[in-house]
Amino acid sequence: MDTTFQGYHVIVEGKKDYKFYSKFFNSSEIRIVEAFGNERVIEVLQLLDDRGFNRDIGIIDLDFNRILGIDHQIDGLFVTDDHDIEVMVIKTDALVDVVNQYCSPKSIKDFESSKSTTIREELLKIGREIGYLKLAAKVYDLGLVFKPKMADGNQLRYNKLMDNNFDFAGKNVLIETIVNFSNGKSDCIKSQAEINMAFDAIKQKSYPDYELVNGHDLANLLYLLMKKVLKSKSKSLGDWDCVEDSLSLAYDSSDFKKTILFKELEKWRISENVNLFSERITSS
């Protein structure tokens, strides 16, 4: 990181965060730096503070922190309102815009009529179940793995988690799918019985949806829903990565300004007299 830069550095977790926040921050006075991970953002902030460098802030995903009672009391560290930036986006009309971009009005209407609910709620139904298992894995140290070791590695087979009508395939299928994915990636996978008990224990409690669900899961589910169920004919609907990019692009500055994250950043901007935000924020 260039400590000779006279502006401020905003340290974020990764490439997706870099792209997301770039459109909201003033590029002439703010440099966004990828730290490659939640914990790394915190480590970099603390390291820079130890060295007397104070022209920096960090932004991390909430993850399960609020659910688990974790509150990082670190000056200059900001946290997303929801589990991650993708969830923060999906809870807005950006989701509707993306679905309308890729799918026909008839297919959307027919699906929501058959389910008597919205596409967002259908995503959350399956997303919650994955969220319960992810939280159980973290709380009870189940040894489960949910993502590839390398960014370009094989993804979890989300298609196994639903039937052709986009109904959840059930807890047993979910656990079996995750255990199969974890094999060869983890040396300490707990037994099926232990995983079942942990899942049930977690599910007995109530959690805010947008803190429990994971945006990467929802983007994968949304891709399958649009491609396999809504039968999108769009050639630009390539994969889940394309869906995440589309959601980020559809997220409006007016939505960002409604977040707690923005309000906290605005307080900091005023107190430090920093020209933090881009024109699309200041002019809207």
Report helix, strand or coil for 207: coil
Percent of the chain with pLDDT over 90: 93
pLDDT of 3 higher than 70: no
* Residue 151 pLDDT > 80: no
Q: Give the per-residue pLDDT at 114.
A: 97
Q: Strand 8-12's sheet: what is its strand order?
A: 30-34, 8-12, 56-60, 77-79
Average predicted confidence (pLDDT) for the chain: 96
Full-model pTM = 0.95
Q: Which is nearest to 133 in space by CA: 86, 198, 84, 177? A: 198
Q: Which pLDDT value is given to residue 213?
A: 98
Percent of the chain with pLDDT over 70: 99
Q: What is the pLDDT of residues 212-259, one digit of tens each?
A: 999 999 999 999 999 999 999 999 999 999 999 999 999 999 999 999
pLDDT at residue 279, as a whole number:
94
Domain architecture of the chain: domains with CATH: 8-81+259-282 (3.40.1360), 87-253 (no CATH)
Distance, CA of 9 to CA of 170 (rounded, Å): 45
How far apart CA 101 and CA 96 sit, in angstroms, is 9
